[in-house]
Structure 1
Amino acid sequence: MVIVDHSVGCSVHDYGNHPCLHLSKKTTAKRMRKKDPSTREIIPLKHFQLFRTDFMIQSMMLCMTTHQDWLYNALRPDAYLILWFNNESSRIMVDFEEVSITRDTILFIRKDRVHILMDDRYDGITISFTENFFCKSAEDAVFLNNHILFTDSHQPRYIKVEEEDRVLRLLATLLMEENATTAPSETVNRNLIQHFMIAAARKLEPAEIPVSVDRDRSYVTAFQQLLAHDFRSVKMVNTYATALHITEKRLNAATTHITGKSPKQLIDEKIMLEARRMLTHTSQTTSEIAFELGFFEVSNFIKYFRKHEGITPAIYRKASVSKA
């Protein structure tokens, strides 16, 4: 399903005079009132209704005016996000990493990444799409799952668009124009998104871009997909290796080559990230969190958490609340 907002109020200007997409005055909304920190000590994880669509492109201003829940709440959408900011400066938190945004910064957020918009107002364009929208073939799935901008890395990816980056600006314009029609083409949108991702990846440092999708990278991608689905119940490296029809030693060689980390380290990172998310963004008790993460004895979870974080879950939660 494709969702298009025809009241988006975006005007596309000639690139010889206007180097970026500008929002017209129609989208200007009242400045939203910042919530009292005491009311957001525990920010609930929620799947934001707006992103429960296969594809969407909309102005940030209109999006936040219509759906104010997006501000100050922790959001984990089942979609990939591309956020092109027109603010002079703003902030966004992506899984405990604060990103400082300036004008013409494009931020790429992989699905299931928890993020929080930390300011009152954002200008720019929001694009979201699901795997169901993008992956119409095995090749599409390989492209998306291995794309450097949407890797399963804890560090968010973003690029700065310069004045001379005409290709990215043109592709963004074409996306806006296509979705200003009464019957936008899903195929055209998908192709434009793919070319946009290719052009954006060229903005990264050469060392950041993988030379090819080799066998090791394929194993790591498959392992990360299994891990994302099963980390709560499966914590043994051998179980994942068996599912991939390779030995534990071969999986270790692949993850070490691609990520510099062992499979066990990646499993621990995934569990700890989810534990920190739940302690920070939910009101679930330590016992409930332990059980949800596959620890049947809360004492084992507390011991595990302290081993990796250096403090107990209770102390971590108290510290995260005070920061909010």
Structure 2
Amino acid sequence: MYIITDQLKENGFSVNRLDQIIKRNNNKRQFNTLEYFCIYIIMENIGLIVENTSYNITAGNIVFLGPQKSIEFGKAKGQDTFIISFSSSFYERSIKDSLFLNSQLFFNYNSDIFIAPFSNIEEMRVVFMDRMENFRKKDKSLYLSAAHNAIERLILDAFLHIPTEEVKKDIKFDYLYCVNKFKVVLQRDYKTAKKVSHYAGELNVTPRKLTEMTEYVLGKSAKHVIIEKLISESKKMLSYTNYTISQIAFELGFSDEGNFTNFFKKHTQKNPSEMR
């Protein structure tokens, strides 16, 4: 993400203006969320590139991102964009908290980000900068409690914008947790590991159990999830980079261009060259 601050290391939570983070990052605008959950409060129009997909975010929106996402911020000054970062250990205090973290907000199956509107820009500024700073100066325990409550408020407001049919009411929390952890590990390892057994081993479950969980949560097998990820990344590289097909094959961990082309054609019914 950037040089991890002592505050984030010690407390598992931090809130900063984007311009301050960029300055600390040697003026670079590229970051990675690493193991942290992130919420961006956008009070100025700004462009984002998340996992090679571009988004134009207008002022008055909140962006939710899960772990292991690569991000690049556009040329906005960053004085009116606030970055909240926190660990799962900081936020998870109850089953309800676990549901929030493992929801569509941070693990959106249709997009790498979830965007929700808010109505009062000035209120956001007061709550997340002025008020939080006052708590920080007064008492650490109060500050962390206020931070947890502020994050929960953002999440609850955003939940209103998740389609009702996408919110499971009979969710198995252990399945949801494991599937989302699988998606995080997949984001990290998809270029080098393409077998279900690798991810099952990382999660300390059997391949059969992992597929049982993905079918329950996502309606598809673990193998299908891996294939979808590879196809999605392939299409992004074919559309948004100048790499040759041979270079893309190498980047995605295929042994050669022919192997990659056969894989892509099998799952899309198109040759990679047709995507350019």
Same fold (TM over 0.5): yes
Match of 2:105, SS state, is helix
Q: Distance in 2 between matches of 1:84 and 1:132?
A: 22
User: Quick check: which one's helix share is greater?
Assistant: 2
Measured after TM superposition, the shift of residue 150 of structure 1 is 0.9
State how far apart, in whole Å, the 2-side matches of 1:116 and 1:281 are.
15
- What does residue 226 of structure 2 align with? 267
Aligned-residue sequence identity (percent) comes to 15
Confirm whether residue 105 of structure 1 aligns to residue 61 of structure 2: yes
1:147 aligns with 2:107: no
Q: Counterpart of 2:145?
A: 188
Counting matched residue pairs gives 257
| Equivalent residues of 1:290, 1:296 under 8 A apart | no
Name the stretch that deviates more: 236-245 or 181-190: 236-245
CA deviation after TM superposition for structure 1 residue 278, in Å = 7.2
Tell me whether 1:212 sits opposite 2:132 in the alignment: no
Partner of 1:49: 3
Gaps of 5+ in 2: none
SS, match of residue 226 in structure 1: helix
Task: Please list every run of 5 or more consecutive structure 1 residues that lacks an aligned counterpart in the other structure.
Answer: 1-46, 320-324
Task: Point out the structure with max Rg over C-alpha.
Answer: 1
Q: CA deviation at 1:296?
A: 4.5
Q: Pick closer, same or farther for the CA change 1:164–1:48 going to 2, 3 Å.
A: closer
Match of 2:251 in 1: 289
Q: Which residue of structure 2 lines up, in the alignment, with residue 201 of structure 1? A: 158
Which residue is equivalent to 1:322? none
CA contact 1:237–1:264 (8 Å) conserved in 2? no
Q: Deviations over 1:172-216 (max 9, x none)?
A: 35434323x17633642552244234433343145266253523x
Read off the aligned partner of 1:270 and give its amino acid letter: K
Give yes or no for the alignment of 1:243 onto 2:205: yes
In the superposition, the TM-score normalised over structure 2's length comes to 0.69
CA distance in 2, matches of 1:93, 1:106: 15
CA RMSD, 1 decimal: 4.2
Conservation of the 8 A alpha-carbon contact between 1:82 and 1:106: yes
| Deviation for aligned residue 1:80 | 1.6
The Cα of 1:129 is off from its aligned counterpart by 1.5
Question: What is the distance in 1 between the residues matched to 2:198 and 2:52?
Answer: 30
Match of 2:85, SS state, is: strand
* 1:63 is the counterpart of 2:21: yes
Match of 1:134 among 75, 91, 99: 91
Q: Secondary structure at the match of 2:224?
A: helix
Question: TM-score, normalization: structure 1?
Answer: 0.61
In 1, Cα distance between equivalents of 2:76 and 2:257? 39
Q: Are the counterparts in 2 of residues 238 and 248 from structure 1 also a CA contact under 8 Å?
A: no
- How many angstroms does 1:220 deviate by? 4.5
